[in-house]
Amino acid sequence: MGQAFQDYLQKNRENHLQQLVELLQIPSISALSEHKDDVRHAASWLANELQRIGIENVAVMETKGHPVVYGDWLHAEGKPTVLVYGHYDVQPVDPLNLWDTPPFEPTIKDEKIYARGSSDDKGQVFMHIKAIEALFQTNGSLPVNVKFIFEGEEEVGSPNLPLFIEENHDLLKADLLVISDTGMMDKGKPTICYGLRGLTGLQIDIQGANSDLHSGAYGGGVQNPAHALIEVLASFHDKHGKILVDGFYENVRAITDEEKKAFADLHTDEEAIRKELGVPELFGEEGFTFNERTWVRPTLEINGVYSGFQGEGIKTVLPNKATAKITCRLVPDQDPEEIYEKLVKHIENNKPKGVNVTITPFDKGAPFITPLDHPAIQVAGKAYEKVYGVPVSYTRSGGSIPIVATFHELLNTPVVLMGFALPNENVHAPNEHFHLENFDKGMLTLCHYWLDLANSL
Amino acid sequence: MGQAFQDYLQKNRENHLQQLVELLQIPSISALSEHKDDVRHAASWLANELQRIGIENVAVMETKGHPVVYGDWLHAEGKPTVLVYGHYDVQPVDPLNLWDTPPFEPTIKDEKIYARGSSDDKGQVFMHIKAIEALFQTNGSLPVNVKFIFEGEEEVGSPNLPLFIEENHDLLKADLLVISDTGMMDKGKPTICYGLRGLTGLQIDIQGANSDLHSGAYGGGVQNPAHALIEVLASFHDKHGKILVDGFYENVRAITDEEKKAFADLHTDEEAIRKELGVPELFGEEGFTFNERTWVRPTLEINGVYSGFQGEGIKTVLPNKATAKITCRLVPDQDPEEIYEKLVKHIENNKPKGVNVTITPFDKGAPFITPLDHPAIQVAGKAYEKVYGVPVSYTRSGGSIPIVATFHELLNTPVVLMGFALPNENVHAPNEHFHLENFDKGMLTLCHYWLDLANSL
């Protein structure tokens, strides 16, 4: 049967590419109101296509902004249900003159397809549809239950997605969420990112006298808010980069031996990173590698700090205000709200004398992980390996993807990030393109994944 | 004889006030090039007047900017030589509409004379001339040798004074410098400020990566320049405000019992200061009063600090630069150059990892003190007391007066700040005025001072 869907995809390649061109021709730029109808056109196109291949309950569902395309097929009794997320809106195309071929006139050159949205994310959405079509056509049914949710507002920050998920909680319920909106580490290096860091943060405002003071007349007799702020900020870390907030590391999930091995297998060149950044040395918590420091360890980072005079030269002022903006990157199983409260408590315990301190919270986001040994991750890895013929790279990421946190928090479903983009495909830039090698291999990987998943979850 | 000069001044009061009005009518605004001739006119006016009363070697001496008026009388053989400094240039007068009477049409109202320069500093310069005139007229000679130096660029920062002093070192040589360009603590409270703090400072620039970084992708793996800067800055003080730079306090002259008593006699209301500043509590080195902290103790003050994002809300950036501007107020006998070197050494000893640190020096100024028990100070105090009938207040100041540092450094002469302005005389503002009570009493004080000084230095 593996052979059958492969033959099908091969035989229909030209036809499929022609359909992809059609989808990419629609200028569905979500940020620009003059393209509102184009965004809706792309939604209908996908809805029609889902319906045509055999997906049921297909609907273009309204939100306060651009619509969500939904569809499902739920006849694989006793088998897992997979929710597939992607987005059909694209980034603006300015500056147009830097494009070698027009952004909405898809052009195939050197086994790459050039068009806005080819890599991010219409190309990957389309692959999901064609993989399912191949299974339907060669098998008459699907090995797992499938639900599709294709969003039209990802490029503008998904403002209406959280409410949509909340309101359609039961409709979207699944055993697994697969997101194809990320990438591979490198050409020929299939990658599964199974964890992201979360976020919490706050602003500290320190107020001294009711106006800036003369540093001669008052210096030494009044607390300097900059000194007070530095006293607080200095209390957050030791000299080795360890965070000193009480209980900060309490719920940090330890890295497993399996993860340690997976990261070592990446052969990350730390000296190359150092050179690229132009720093005299890398720096971080002792006993951890660069990958471990940025993926599995939490941070407390000053994103901004300011007080007093910033012009050229000298001004002998004793400032009356000082501000710092701080965010923490969180890892499983830290809770953003709990960490925020610990930060506040720490500041209160280290409150300097002679000034008033105000704390303002920032938005929070939960960290996410689908454990490396979770069957959904392992089966995905094996699917990649069957197609690409090389071991898959397992990574985590130091950043956050808001939609992942949103889904994870609202649906509480394991997530697999199964992305087929390559790092240099000019996503969000002129001459965006997508490698057809990953178009072909990606669809095969998806077919294998659905088939293998049927008996593994 | 004391009676004689008093009678002379009283008898000629109307005439003297008429002359003062004449001087104040000259719009000698040094900052505005259209008043260049007016500045020179004021210089000639003073030169003529000095010559008329009996001062010798009078000259309007050129500089690269506005001229200096010089004159001397050096026939008090065996007696001390006093150099008297003042300035005849004035501040601009904008906004004109806030003046109740035109700034250059001097108006006497309620025993105050309203005009630009009446308090700062033409009024005080004029008093010096009239006091000398009174002694000449009633005695035929002076009890001490006198040299006058009246500057025309004080309000623009005395750019040419240091070179002038250096080039005329011998001409200006004296046993004592009297500066009348400051004030009294309050009406009826004659004040002698006998010490000022000096200054040294530097800028610390910390450079991390070659561009700002994503705090998710790199946070925890690269030194944050803001963290590095805070580590350095936090190392400068302990929690009680004590400066931790090695050897910083080494040459600090201890406060004497006499000084302690003089400061206690001021009955400074610290709670009133706290309230006026609006701070929850005053803060400074333990074991010292507010006056002691700001007058006799050195400081290390952050005047400015900045790194990263300063806009509203959150930006998850790992900044690549951080800067701090630091100045130290110095007290006798700290040496600005020596302290600068100690600061540099301290920074080098506390150099954080993973970043590059650059240090840039700021301008330096020496601290100044004429010891409280110096005869020039004590005799001045007694002269005040004879005229005002109340004990004089002895203070030091936390600030610096650049010309004092300049004179002190270049001539190495004891300095007495004998100022007659009151705190609320709108110096540098609309409706500047000068209290005639201090005009009258000030001239008497000066006469007493010269007479008493003859046998005291």
Instruction: Please identify every stretch of chain B with a pLDDT value under 70, giving residue numbers as ranges.
Output: 1-2
Q: Does B314 touch chain A (CB under 8 A)?
A: yes
Give the span between the Cα atoms of B338 and B358, in whole angstroms: 19
| pLDDT reported for residue B400 | 84
Contact indicator for B430, B98 with CB cutoff of 8 Å: yes
Residue A431 has which token pair?
Answer: 């001459």
Q: Which residue of B has its CA nearest to A306?
A: B306
Coil/strand/helix, residue A144: coil
Q: Does A221 touch chain B (CB under 8 A)?
A: yes
Smallest Cβ–Cβ distance between A217 and the set B218, B294, B304 belongs to B294
**DSSP string covering A245-278:** STTTTTTPPPPPHHHHHHHHTT---HHHHHHHHT
Contact indicator for B367, B334 with CB cutoff of 8 Å: yes
Contact indicator for B41, B66 with CB cutoff of 8 Å: no
Closest CA to B20 of B44, B57, B53, B49: B49
Q: Which residue of A has its CA nearest to B270?
A: A221
Helix (H) or strand (E) holding B417: strand B415-417
Q: Does B41 touch chain A (CB under 8 A)?
A: no
> B353 to chain A: which residues are within 8 Å by CB?
281, 283
Give the span between the Cα atoms of A28 and A47, in whole angstroms: 15
Coil/strand/helix, residue A302: strand
pLDDT at residue A9 greater than cutoff 70: yes
> A239 to chain B: which residues are within 8 Å by CB?
231, 352
| pLDDT reported for residue A234 | 97
**Tens-digit pLDDT profile for residues B385-417:** 999 999 999 999 999 888 888 898 889 899 999
> A285 to chain B: which residues are within 8 Å by CB?
220
Is B398 in Cβ contact with A219 (below 8 Å)?
Answer: yes
Contact indicator for B408, B415 with CB cutoff of 8 Å: yes
Residue B252: how many other CB atoms lie within 10 Å: 16
**Equal fold, B2-196+367-453 vs B198-252+298-361:** no
Residue A37: partners with Cβ closer than 8 Å, 6 or more residues away: none
**Residue at B51: amino acid letter:** Q
To the nearest whole Å, the CA of B49 is away from the closest chain A CA by 37
| pLDDT reported for residue A450 | 98
Give the span between the Cα atoms of A158 and A30, in whole angstroms: 10
Contact indicator for A114, A106 with CB cutoff of 8 Å: yes
> B185 to chain A: which residues are within 8 Å by CB?
none
Give the span between the Cα atoms of A71 and B395, in whole angstroms: 84
Q: Does B321 touch chain A (CB under 8 A)?
A: no
Question: Parallel, antiparallel, or unpaired for β A415-417 and A176-179?
Answer: parallel
pLDDT band, very low/low/confident/very high, at A279 (cuts 50, 70, 90)? very high
| pLDDT reported for residue A193 | 93
Residue B101 CB burial class (10 angstroms; 0-12, 13-18, ≥19): middle
| pLDDT reported for residue B261 | 95
Name the one residue in this structure whose structure tokens are 């309204």.
A62
Q: Which residue of B has its CA nearest to A280?
A: B354
Interface confidence, given as ipTM, is: 0.89
Q: Does B242 touch chain A (CB under 8 A)?
A: no
Q: Which residue of B has its CA nearest to A324?
A: B310
**DSSP string covering B383-395:** HHHHHH-SPPEEE
> A321 to chain B: which residues are within 8 Å by CB?
none
Smallest Cβ–Cβ distance between A301 and the set B197, B215, B241 belongs to B215
**Tens-digit pLDDT profile for residues B431-453:** 999 999 999 999 999 999 999 99
Closest CA to A172 of A99, A81, A281: A81
Contact indicator for A304, B315 with CB cutoff of 8 Å: yes
Q: Which residue of A has its CA nearest to B242?
A: A220
Q: Which CATH superfamily is domain A2-196+367-453 in?
A: Zn peptidases (3.40.630.10)
- Angle ∠(A423,A426,A428) on CA atoms, nearest 5: 115
CA-to-CA dists, residue A399 to A94, A289, B317, B457, angstroms: 26, 17, 11, 75
Closest CA to B268 of B290, B295, B294: B290
Q: Does A304 touch chain B (CB under 8 A)?
A: yes
pLDDT band, very low/low/confident/very high, at A406 (cuts 50, 70, 90)? confident
Is B355 in Cβ contact with A329 (below 8 Å)?
Answer: no
Is A227 in Cβ contact with B355 (below 8 Å)?
Answer: no
pLDDT at residue A282 greater than cutoff 80: yes
To the nearest whole Å, the CA of B433 is away from the closest chain A CA by 24
Q: Does B359 touch chain A (CB under 8 A)?
A: no
* Spans of all domains in chain A: 2-196+367-453, 198-252+298-361, 253-296
Is B317 in Cβ contact with A220 (below 8 Å)?
Answer: no
Q: What share of chain A is helix, strand, coil (3-state, %, to 5)?
A: 35, 25, 40
To the nearest whole Å, the CA of A270 is away from the closest chain B CA by 10
**Domain B198-252+298-361, CATH 3.30.70.360 — does that match?**
yes
Beta-bridged to residue A258, according to DSSP, are none
Residue A54 has which token pair?
Answer: 């055999």
Provide the angle, in degrees to the nearest 10, between the axes of the packed helices A13-24 and A2-11: 60
pLDDT at residue A2 greater than cutoff 90: no
Q: Does B313 touch chain A (CB under 8 A)?
A: yes
Give the span between the Cα atoms of A99 and A114, in whole angstroms: 10
Coil/strand/helix, residue A126: helix
Residue B311: partners with Cβ closer than 8 Å, 6 or more residues away: none
**Residue at B159: amino acid letter:** P
CA-to-CA dists, residue A102 to A93, A99, A127, A296, B146, angstroms: 9, 6, 23, 42, 88
Give the span between the Cα atoms of B27 and B36, in whole angstroms: 9
> A218 to chain B: which residues are within 8 Å by CB?
277, 294, 398
Residue A114 has which token pair?
Answer: 């050039």
pLDDT at residue A255 greater than cutoff 50: yes
To the nearest whole Å, the CA of B312 is away from the closest chain A CA by 10
Provide the angle, in degrees to the nearest 10, between the axes of the packed helices A36-53 and A122-139: 20
Residue A205: how many other CB atoms lie within 10 Å: 15
Residue B158: partners with Cβ closer than 8 Å, 6 or more residues away: B151, B402, B403, B406
Identify each DSSP E strand in B62-151 by its residue range: 68-73, 81-87, 107-109, 112-114, 145-151
CA-to-CA dists, residue B60 to A30, A165, A260, B19, angstroms: 76, 86, 84, 20
Beta-bridged to residue A199, according to DSSP, are A329, A365
Is A308 in Cβ contact with B307 (below 8 Å)?
Answer: no
Give the span between the Cα atoms of A163 and A299, in whole angstroms: 30
Residue B340: partners with Cβ closer than 8 Å, 6 or more residues away: B200, B201, B202, B361, B364
> B222 to chain A: which residues are within 8 Å by CB?
277, 279, 282-284
Helix (H) or strand (E) holding A113: strand A112-114
Is B285 in Cβ contact with A329 (below 8 Å)?
Answer: no
pLDDT at residue A31 greater than cutoff 60: yes
pLDDT at residue A401 greater than cutoff 90: no
Q: Which of A 132-171 lie inside 8 A of B, CB atoms?
A: none
Residue A314: partners with Cβ closer than 8 Å, 6 or more residues away: B201, B303, B325, B327, B362, B363
| pLDDT reported for residue A1 | 46
Closest CA to A349 of A239, A209, A341: A341
Is B315 in Cβ contact with A303 (below 8 Å)?
Answer: yes
Identify each DSSP E strand in B217-371 by its residue range: 301-308, 317-318, 321-330, 356-361, 368-369
Q: Which residue of B has its CA nearest to A212?
A: B277
> A352 to chain B: which residues are within 8 Å by CB?
239
Q: How many residue pairs from chains A and B have C-beta atoms closer than 8 A? A: 256
Q: Which residue of B has its CA nearest to A216?
A: B399
Q: Does A302 touch chain B (CB under 8 A)?
A: yes
Q: Does B445 touch chain A (CB under 8 A)?
A: no
Closest CA to B86 of B146, B36, B19: B146
Beta-bridged to residue B222, according to DSSP, are B219
> A220 to chain B: which residues are within 8 Å by CB?
241, 284-285, 293-294, 297-299, 329, 398
Give the span between the Cα atoms of A320 and A157, in whole angstroms: 37
Average pLDDT, chain A: 95
pLDDT, average across residues A94-113: 96
Give the span between the Cα atoms of B88 and B43, in whole angstroms: 7
Give the span between the Cα atoms of A20 and B156, in whole angstroms: 73
Question: Parallel, antiparallel, or unpaired for β A145-151 and A81-87?
Answer: parallel
Smallest Cβ–Cβ distance between B356 and the set A227, A280, A301 belongs to A280
How far does Cα A220 stand from its chain's mean position? Answer: 49
